[in-house]
Amino acid sequence: MTKNFSLADFLNKKVELYNQPSFLVNDPVCIPHLFTKKQDIEIAGFFAATFAWGNRTTIIQKSKELMQLMDNAPYDFCLNQSEKELKSVSAFKHRTFNTTDLLYFIEFFKFHYSKHKSLDVAFAMHGKTVEEMLKGFHQYFFSLEHIPERTKKHIATPARKSSCKRLNMFLRWMVRQDDKGVDFGIWKNISPSQLICPIDVHVARVAKRLNILTRKQTDWQAAIELTEYLRTLDKNDPVKYDFALFGLGVMEKY
């Protein structure tokens, strides 16, 4: 128990260190922070999270490039785009994300926002757990008439045992709310206590070094195992420790 308390104290200090406005500068979460309208925040955040693999500087640059192509009004663009405007984004590409993928994402946003005011229901309506929500969201996202097979690789699902790191990160941005100004807390249909910690190779490495993760694969089960431990430290806001684990892994090379 003493060991557990000392680890909690260590991680809480790291949360305080990294859950700060300075974190925004070099993290993809800076992209939705360019906006104030709820729907713009959601769409910009979703694209930034989707692009979030590889070099963070490049992720931010490409996300800003796309927002500029959308006239820095992604909600209005997705709902009211003309053929000419669609052509203006047709050359956009980020790694394996290309025009086909982008046009389908825009089509989905137009479909969803024509019926709903917020993107939160696209997740919350599918169940009471994040696992159910992510499985349901994947089916919902790919429920339109013409689905490019290649685009499916950009939206993860626990049904395929993916860790769903980018979607869990996006949910953290939208759901968590504190006084630090990093996460937005604009979604009220999902509780911070329900969130699953985003996990990648860096977070998994740190978690194993701290002896709070035993699973070898960095998959959905690993995300669940890690989050279950983090809930013993803070049952109401376990994913705040994403800051600590990410900071230790990426910033401190722990």
Both tokens of 162, joined, read 């993916």
Tokens 């339109």 -> residue: 144
pTM: 0.95
Tell me phi and psi for residue 234, to 5 degrees.
-155, 100
Q: What is the DSSP letter of 211?
A: T
Give the C-alpha separation, 46 to 174, whole Å.
10
Q: What is the DSSP letter of 97?
A: B
Question: Which parts of 70-157 fold into alpha helices (H)?
Answer: 74-80, 83-88, 99-113, 121-124, 130-141
- pLDDT on residue 1: 39
Give the other-Cβ count within 10 Å of 252's Cβ: 11
Structural domain of 137 = 2-251
Count: domains in the chain: 1
In a structure prediction context, what are the per-residue pLDDT tens digits for the chain, which is 254 residues long? Answer: 345 569 999 999 999 999 999 999 999 999 999 999 999 999 999 999 999 988 999 999 999 999 999 999 999 999 998 888 888 898 999 999 999 999 999 999 999 999 999 999 999 999 999 999 999 999 999 999 999 999 999 999 999 999 999 999 999 999 999 999 999 999 999 999 999 999 999 999 999 999 999 999 999 999 999 999 999 999 999 999 999 999 999 889 88
Give the C-alpha separation, 116 to 189, whole Å.
14
- SS3 state at 94: strand
- SS3 state at 3: helix
- pLDDT on residue 81: 87
Give the C-alpha separation, 79 to 83, whole Å.
12
